[in-house]
Amino acid sequence: MRINGTQFSVSKRQGGVLLSILFAIALWLVLSSPWPPLRPSDARSSRLRSAAEYHNAANFTLSTSAAPSHPDPQHWLARNSHDKYRVDQPSFTLKGMVNRVGRPKAAIISLVRDEELEGMLQSIRQLEAKWNGKYRYPWIFFSESGFGDEFKRRTQEATTSTCHYARIPQHHWEIPSFVSTQRFMNSLEYLSAIGVGKGHLVSYRHMCRWNSGLFYLHPILDDFDFYWRVEPDVHFFCDIDYDVFRFVRDNGIKYGFNMNILDDARSFPSLWSRTRKFIARHPELLHSEADFSWLLDPHANSEYNNCQFFSNFEVGDLRFFRGEKHRKYFEWLDQSGGFFYERYGDAPVHTLSLAMFAKREEMWWFGDIGYQHDINRHCPPAAYAHKCACEPTSLDENFYKLVPYESAQRKPVDSCIRMFLGEQWTKRRASNLTDRGIKQWNAKEEYGGYEMEMWDA
């Protein structure tokens, strides 16, 4: 072979290796190019297709063409599931080389302490067994107090991926100077007295504040674009056969969640009024397709209905949270002292931020992933039994577990996840409607009686 007048000797074996490398690069260019963003006009159909894609369990299928005119998440899943991009093959094989090219810059992150080691190991082992053992994204552990040698050794032994350990800056985990200490102490006593969950814990306020608007500022995340938040003592029940990070990147998804449930309004009584004032002050920051329709209660003067993405499971785009819009919103809330005088949570803060600054189709429900956090559990329908080691839950299973059914707090007519998916999912059978079309309560069905029960076995 001659290059620039110089003669090189290449053996057949070397030539074969060179051809394999060139072929791998060409194959990656064909298969790994990201999809263009979804068209705004397809917002509703995309949400409905996403729900149907996971789960023909209820034998419900939306009519979609075999080859859509433009890519969408369902089409992506059809092409890229069955562990197409797994990287646990040797790197010198063709598939191993191809799948390592063009990977998203992503990490699994966890806020955890040394004393939560056993719970963290459970979470790591389950997610590694169900997914990350095949994809080998790094783990990043955060703590305000640092980690001991045992924590580092045992967590690293639990995964074949690289582990990183980061200490949270002190100024991100202390009461800001603009917060009145006495008023904060009074708040702790009051929320504890009325029974708000973890209302008495100082550390919980710091955690909510850090997760709301500070975690993405840590320099260890500077080289990453996406994250999957995993907490200690959670369960993953299903085999996940696609690269979750490629999925969100290629489909322009800003945020992925597993549960969409009602939160205790006593935790953040001023959050919505403070948010409305922010909107009035900065209308130019709102996305042109911002959609609050599923978050406002038409029967209560369009007040916030307290629905939230349950943020202990979230797959997010760090670039969204680093952006000017979310940062300004967080700073606005932070300056009010609401993380300390009340108990603003990262779940409603993230939910409202996404509603303001992203399109609804840029949020994705990972309903195909079986998951449990404390009393809240989600499991896909019986058709997923070959992938999941859990009993299927109803679509509305977790709606009011944080706010008991008997609570005096006003509840939306429909469950949060149904309102997010769209009106087709909120249609009820005639026997479950009053003359005004409002839900007829009964102890047996609770949130039930819908025409579409796609989670039925």
Cite the active site residues. 314
Alpha helix locations (H) across 293-403? 318-322, 324-335, 338-341, 346-357
Q: What angle do CA 85, 388, 354 make, to 5 degrees?
A: 65
Q: How many CA atoms lie within 13 A of 257 on its CB side?
A: 23
Task: Tell me whether residue 91 is exposed, middle or buried, using C-beta atoms within 10 angstroms of its C-beta: 0 to 12, 13 to 18, 19 or more.
Answer: exposed
Q: What are phi and psi of 372, to 5 degrees?
A: -140, 135
**Is 358 within 8 Å of 255 (Cβ atoms)?**
yes
Distance CA 325, CA 316 (A): 16
Q: What angle do CA 322, 368, 457 make, to 5 degrees?
A: 150
How many other β-carbons are positioned within 10 Å of the β-carbon of residue 372? Answer: 21
Distance CA 129, CA 240 (A): 10
**Is 382 within 8 Å of 453 (Cβ atoms)?**
no
Strand order in the sheet with 163-167: 163-167, 139-143, 106-111, 226-229, 314-317, 255-257, 363-365
**Is 267 within 8 Å of 212 (Cβ atoms)?**
no
Partner residues linked to 307 by β-bridges: 262
Distance CA 75, CA 64 (A): 10
**Is 249 within 8 Å of 34 (Cβ atoms)?**
yes
Does the CA dihedral 396-402-404-408 come out positive or negative? negative
Q: Which helix (H) or strand (E) holds 307?
A: strand 307-309
Distance CA 357, CA 317 (A): 13
Query: Both tokens of residue 269?
Result: 């009584």
- What number of H helices and E strands is found in the chain? 16, 16
Distance CA 447, CA 411 (A): 11
Distance CA 402, CA 310 (A): 10
**Is 196 within 8 Å of 343 (Cβ atoms)?**
yes
